[in-house]
Amino acid sequence: MRTALAVAAVALLSACGATGSAAKYSAATPASAKQLLSLRLKAQYLTVHWIACVRTGRVYRGAAIVRCNVNFGDPHIEAYCSLLRNRQLVTDHDDPAIPCGHDGAGWTAPIVGS
């Protein structure tokens, strides 16, 4: 009986990924993040007018984060912060632990009047 329970426990842990197979995080380039996100959103039959991706300077689990602003129209622009986990695109929409707060880009640029 103990052997059967031990085998069942090992099988359950293997299925959950708890046997030490740690996820590998890496940075996507802005171009690859744009391409992969575009494919994902099109597969979900969403209407996308444009996607603009930039590095944020933030890091999650050792991987640099790329922020993509997606224009869904009317105007509805939504941010997706992304990186690669095991060579697959993961966004903050998939994993809320990925930081994607307001980055303040452009706030320090001086405004010059005519």
pLDDT tens-place string over residues 13-28: 444 444 446 889 999 9
Structural domain includes residue 80: yes
Q: What burial letters (b/e) apply to 62-71, b meaning 16+ CB within 10 Å?
A: ebbbbbbebe
Domain membership of residue 53 as a residue range = 23-100
Q: Domain count for the chain, please give it.
A: 1
pLDDT tens-place string over residues 1-15: 554 444 344 444 444
User: Which percentage of the chain shows pLDDT scores above 90?
Assistant: 61
Please give the residue that has the higher pLDDT: either 3 or 55: 55
Structural domain includes residue 6: no
Structural domain includes residue 35: yes
d(CA 100, CA 42): 22
pTM over 0.85: no
Residue type present at position 59? V
pLDDT tens-place string over residues 32-42: 999 999 999 99
d(CA 37, CA 61): 20
Tell me which residue of 93, 51, 99 sits closest to 71, measured CA to CA. 51
